[in-house]
Structure 1
Amino acid sequence: MRTGTKIAVGAGAAVVVLGGAALVFGPGLYADMNADSAQEAPAVDSPGVGGATDPAEFEGDWTVARGESYAGYRLDEVLQGEDVTVTGRTPDVDGTLSVADGAVTAAEITVDMTTVATDNGARDDYFRETALNTAEFPTSTFTLTEPVAVEPGTESVELAGELTVHGVTRPVTLDAQVGLTDDGARVAGSVPVTFADFGVQAPDLGFVSVEEDGEVEFLLDLVRNP
């Protein structure tokens, strides 16, 4: 949700456990390995709701469909001068969205933080158990706070809402792509976050540090309720 998720904070701290890999392979090779494993930023394949589309066709309630939907984080680490990008994601996303009079009037998205994963299990354990304490704060949420118009030809929208991560709620504004699919609609975007804003401290262990800012990102497949 440039969000939801806040999420970036916790996973960054998890890099503590990767120091051994850096010593074995060297910071340059380690950085290359992790850069290759970072997933592409979420995007809608064909943004736009169609110039000939009647806004009334979007009226009603919509639900996040499991399968292609995901949410997660993107953050940058610095390992002995080498920049590394890390992404963590989960498909366990639920939510609803309402459209009335040509505008999205309500939306709430919930992410299961206990299943956010990168390509390294040790990092993920640290993220869940230490950084975000998912045993106490198992979910993160984004709630829309202002209606946003969706008109024919719309390719992107600006969403204002509240993001709750690690038990802390902050106002956020994010840009999201929108587009139609064969079965409904798709929304993709990200929100910048500052770790400290959500009570999470980015680690700095000397040989590896995490930038104080990151991004929460998401891709949602939406289907209209019958």
Structure 2
Amino acid sequence: MSFFTRRRVLIGVGGLAALVVLVVGGTYLYVNVISGDAPDPLALETDPPAASGGDLDLDGTWTVADGSEAGYRVDEVLNGQDNTVVGRTSDVTGELTVAGGAATEGEITVDMTTITTDSGSRDSQFRGPIMQTDEFPTSTFTLTSPVSLDGLDDGGPVTLTATGDLTVRDVTHSIEVQLDVQRSGDGVQVAGSGEIRFADFDVDPPDLGFVRVEDSGTVEFLLTLARS
């Protein structure tokens, strides 16, 4: 091998190494510096206002009001760097019926077309090949078993478990969600989360070489409920 051939090979190897360093270093900078830590899980207010009317009779119909949020949380490996992705939207609607001190019926609908993260390209993938929001613009959670609200008359918070049907991309699967519930003024706050496996909803998490998404994640929400 001539001197010039060896020089070209060394330059090529050095350029490839520099490219690897640039990609890995750039990813580290994005994950750990630019994007920062993932938002904390949605949670109840730490010091909610007291109900203006004293004791609150919970029986009746409650509607999801302004200030509510819902979304997802999932772990990924981006160019070798662990990263947590959080997507959220405030476009949440629904109702909950309370009778005899228990939540007996309820359905929450989330607009999947407006869920956003800290990356526009990731959001495009989410709305396009992953969730196909043009065809399936919403997801719903429907309560399937009554949930006792014992303790909430005193204001709460109380911790509960609810079972319901989650429908994503027109596929329905039963899940359990953990709930923290408390009174807030004349309304009620509900913070909840549940673990899901993407395969249960016929969703293929991305595996593109430079990014690999775990095969399970968390759906989470914070609801402000107002009496209808």
Q: How far off is 1:217 after superposition? A: 0.6
CA 1:47 to 1:177, structure 2 compared with 1: closer, same or farther past 3 Å?
A: farther
TM-score, normalised relative to structure 1: 0.82
Partner of 2:7: none
User: Which AA in structure 2 matches 1:214?
Assistant: G
Partner of 2:16: none
Aligned residues: 199
C-alpha contact 1:37 1:119 (8 A) present in aligned 2 = no
Q: How far off is 1:62 after superposition? A: 0.3
Q: How far off is 1:46 after superposition? A: 3.9
TM-score, normalised relative to structure 2: 0.81
CA 1:183 to 1:23, structure 2 compared with 1: closer, same or farther past 3 Å?
A: farther
User: Which AA in structure 2 matches 1:218?
Assistant: F
Q: How far off is 1:37 after superposition? A: 5.1
For residues 75 and 195 of structure 1, the distance between their equivalents in structure 2, rounded to whole angstroms, comes to 11
CA 1:190 to 1:110, structure 2 compared with 1: closer, same or farther past 3 Å?
A: same
Residues 28-43 of structure 1 aligned to structure 2 (within 5 Å): 28-33=28-33, 36=36, 38-43=38-43
CA 1:132 to 1:121, structure 2 compared with 1: closer, same or farther past 3 Å?
A: same
Q: How far off is 1:121 after superposition? A: 1.4
1:74-128 deviation line (CA, Å, top 9, x unaligned): 0111123311011011100000001000100101000010111111112111111
Report the 3-state secondary structure (helix = DSSP H, G, I; strand = E; otherwise coil) of the residue aligned with 1:201: coil
Residues 44-59 of structure 1 aligned to structure 2 (within 5 Å): 44-46=44-46, 57-59=57-59
Partner of 1:168: 171
**Which structure: larger Rg?**
2
Q: How far off is 1:30 after superposition? A: 2.1
Q: Quick one: which of 190, 214, 218 aligns to 1:215?
A: 218
For residues 122 and 206 of structure 1, the distance between their equivalents in structure 2, rounded to whole angstroms, comes to 16
For residues 90 and 34 of structure 2, the distance between their equivalents in structure 1, rounded to whole angstroms, comes to 21
5+ residue gaps in structure 2? Answer: 1-21
C-alpha contact 2:24 2:79 (8 A) present in aligned 1 = no
Partner of 2:85: 86
Partner of 1:177: 180
CA 1:163 to 1:187, structure 2 compared with 1: closer, same or farther past 3 Å?
A: same
For residues 195 and 101 of structure 1, the distance between their equivalents in structure 2, rounded to whole angstroms, comes to 36
Q: How far off is 1:40 after superposition? A: 1.2
C-alpha contact 2:171 2:201 (8 A) present in aligned 1 = yes
Partner of 1:26: 26
For residues 79 and 91 of structure 2, the distance between their equivalents in structure 1, rounded to whole angstroms, comes to 34
After superposing the two structures, state which structure 1 stretch, 107-116 or 26-35, moved more: 26-35
Q: How far off is 1:47 after superposition? A: 8.8
For residues 34 and 147 of structure 1, the distance between their equivalents in structure 2, rounded to whole angstroms, comes to 44
For residues 34 and 117 of structure 2, the distance between their equivalents in structure 1, rounded to whole angstroms, comes to 10
5+ residue gaps in structure 1? Answer: 1-21
Query: Looking at both structures, which has the greater relative contact order when contacts are Cα pairs under 8 Å and sequence separation is at least 6?
Result: 1
